[in-house]
A = this chain, B = another copy of it.
Amino acid sequence: MTDSTPLPKSIATVSLSGTLPDKLEAAAAAGFDSVEIFEADLLSFDGTPRDVSRMASDLGIGISIFQPFRDFEGMEPAQLARNLTRAERKFDVMGELGTDLLLLCSNIQESTVNDQARAAADLSLLAERAGQRGFKIAYEALAWGRHVKFWRQAWDIIKRVDHPAFGLALDSFHTLALGDNLTGIGEVPGEKIFFMQLADAPRLTMDVLSWSRHYRNFPGQGDFDVAGFVRDALRAGYRGPLSLEIFNDEFRAGPPRPMALDALRSLIWVEAEAGHTKLPPAPVLGGFEFIEFAVDAPAAERLAAVLGTLGFELTGRHRSKAVNLYRQSEVNIVLNAEPDSSASEHFVRHGPSVCALALKVDQVAPTLARASALLSPTWAERTGPGEHRIPAVREPDGTLLYLVEPADAAAMWTQDFNLAPPAEPKPAASLNIDHIAQALTPGSMDRFVLFYRTLFGLTPEPTIEFADRFGLIRSRTMKSPNGNVRVVLNISESPATETARFVSEAAGPGVHHVAFATPDILTATQNARAAGLTALPIPANYYEDLAARFGLDDDTLAELEKRGILYDRDAHGDFRHAYTPSFSGRFFFELLERHGYQGYGASNAPIRLAAMARQRELGK
Which residues of chain B are near A46, meaning CB under 8 Å?
537, 539, 610-611, 614
Task: Give Cα distance in the complex from A610 to B19, angstroms.
Answer: 8
Kindly state whether residue A545 has any CB partner on chain B within 8 Å.
Answer: yes
A545 touches B39 (CB 8 A): yes
Residue of B nearest to A207 (CB): B205
Binding site for B on A (CB under 8 A): 17-19, 22, 39-40, 42-49, 82, 85-86, 89-90, 92-93, 204-207, 210, 213-214, 249, 252-253, 465, 467, 469-472, 493-494, 496-497, 537, 539-542, 544-545, 547-549, 551, 606-607, 609-611, 613-614
Query: From residue A134, how far is it (CB to closest CB) to chain B in Å?
Result: 19
Residue of B nearest to A19 (CB): B469
Q: Choose among A22, A44, A93, A469 the residue with the greatest number of B CB atoms under 10 Å from its CB.
A: A44
B86 touches A548 (CB 8 A): yes
Which residues of chain B are near A494, meaning CB under 8 Å?
249, 252-253
B606 touches A40 (CB 8 A): yes
Which residues of chain B are near A544, meaning CB under 8 Å?
89, 92-93
Which residues of chain B are near A549, meaning CB under 8 Å?
86
Task: Give Cα distance in the complex from A471 to B18, angstroms.
Answer: 9
Which residues of chain B are near A470, meaning CB under 8 Å?
17-18, 252-253
Which residues of chain B are near A206, meaning CB under 8 Å?
204-207, 210
A43 touches B541 (CB 8 A): yes
Which residues of chain B are near A548, meaning CB under 8 Å?
85-86, 89-90
Task: Give Cα distance in the complex from A89 to B17, angstroms.
Answer: 54
Which residues of chain B are near A47, meaning CB under 8 Å?
539
Give 8 closest A-B pairs by Cβ, nearest first.
A253-B494, A206-B206, A44-B610, A205-B207, A89-B548, A253-B471, A86-B548, A46-B539
B471 touches A539 (CB 8 A): no
Supply 13 A–B pairs (Cβ within 8 Å), ascending by A: A17-B471, A19-B610, A19-B613, A22-B469, A43-B607, A46-B539, A46-B611, A46-B614, A47-B539, A204-B206, A206-B207, A249-B493, A252-B472
B44 touches A539 (CB 8 A): yes
Which one of B44, B82, B207, B493 contacts A253 once the chains associate, using CB atoms below 8 Å?
Answer: B493
Q: What is the interface of chain A mostly: helix, strand, loop, or mixed?
A: helix
Residue of B nearest to A471 (CB): B253
Task: Give Cα distance in the complex from A86 to B551, angstroms.
Answer: 8
Task: Give Cα distance in the complex from A17 to B610, angstroms.
Answer: 12
Task: Give Cα distance in the complex from A92 to B548, angstroms.
Answer: 11
Given contacts A49-B541, A89-B544, 4 further A-B pairs with CB under 8 A are: A40-B606, A44-B541, A46-B611, A204-B206
Known contacts A93-B544, A206-B206, A610-B19; is-contact A249 B44 (Cβ 8 Å)? no
Which residues of chain B are near A93, meaning CB under 8 Å?
541, 544
A472 touches B48 (CB 8 A): no
Which residues of chain B are near A90, meaning CB under 8 Å?
548
Task: Give Cα distance in the complex from A22 to B496, angstroms.
Answer: 15
A551 touches B44 (CB 8 A): no
Query: From residue A469, how far is it (CB to closest CB) to chain B in Å?
Result: 6
Task: Give Cα distance in the complex from A471 to B252, angstroms.
Answer: 5
A253 touches B496 (CB 8 A): yes
Task: Give Cα distance in the complex from A235 to B470, angstroms.
Answer: 38
B44 touches A606 (CB 8 A): yes
Residue of B nearest to A249 (CB): B472
A611 touches B44 (CB 8 A): yes
Which residues of chain B are near A48, meaning CB under 8 Å?
540-541
Which residues of chain B are near A214, meaning CB under 8 Å?
472
A469 touches B42 (CB 8 A): no
Task: Give Cα distance in the complex from A192 to B46, angstroms.
Answer: 67
Query: From residue A473, how far is it (CB to closest CB) to chain B in Å?
Result: 10
Task: Give Cα distance in the complex from A252 to B17, angstroms.
Answer: 29
Residue of B nearest to A497 (CB): B253
Q: Choose among A82, A89, A210 the residue with the greatest number of B CB atoms under 10 Å from its CB.
A: A89
Query: From residue A252, how far is it (CB to closest CB) to chain B in Å?
Result: 5
Task: Give Cα distance in the complex from A611 to B44, angstroms.
Answer: 7
Which residues of chain B are near A465, meaning CB under 8 Å?
213
Which residues of chain B are near A92, meaning CB under 8 Å?
544
Task: Give Cα distance in the complex from A191 to B325, angstroms.
Answer: 70
Residue of B nearest to A23 (CB): B469
Which residues of chain B are near A607, meaning CB under 8 Å?
43-44
Query: From residue A196, how far is it (CB to closest CB) to chain B in Å?
Result: 24
Task: Give Cα distance in the complex from A27 to B375, angstroms.
Answer: 53
Task: Give Cα distance in the complex from A497 to B43, angstroms.
Answer: 18
Which residues of chain B are near A207, meaning CB under 8 Å?
205-206
Task: Give Cα distance in the complex from A47 to B249, angstroms.
Answer: 41
Known contacts A89-B547, A611-B44; is-contact A17 B249 (Cβ 8 Å)? no
Known contacts A548-B86, A548-B89; is-contact A539 B472 (Cβ 8 Å)? no
Residue of B nearest to A47 (CB): B539
Task: Give Cα distance in the complex from A82 to B537, angstroms.
Answer: 28
Which residues of chain B are near A613, meaning CB under 8 Å?
19
B545 touches A43 (CB 8 A): yes
Task: Give Cα distance in the complex from A607 to B204, angstroms.
Answer: 32
Which residues of chain B are near A85, meaning CB under 8 Å?
548, 551
Which residues of chain B are near A19, meaning CB under 8 Å?
469, 610, 613
Which residues of chain B are near A541, meaning CB under 8 Å?
42-45, 48-49, 93
Task: Give Cα distance in the complex from A522 to B252, angstroms.
Answer: 36
A18 touches B252 (CB 8 A): no
Which residues of chain B are near A213, meaning CB under 8 Å?
465
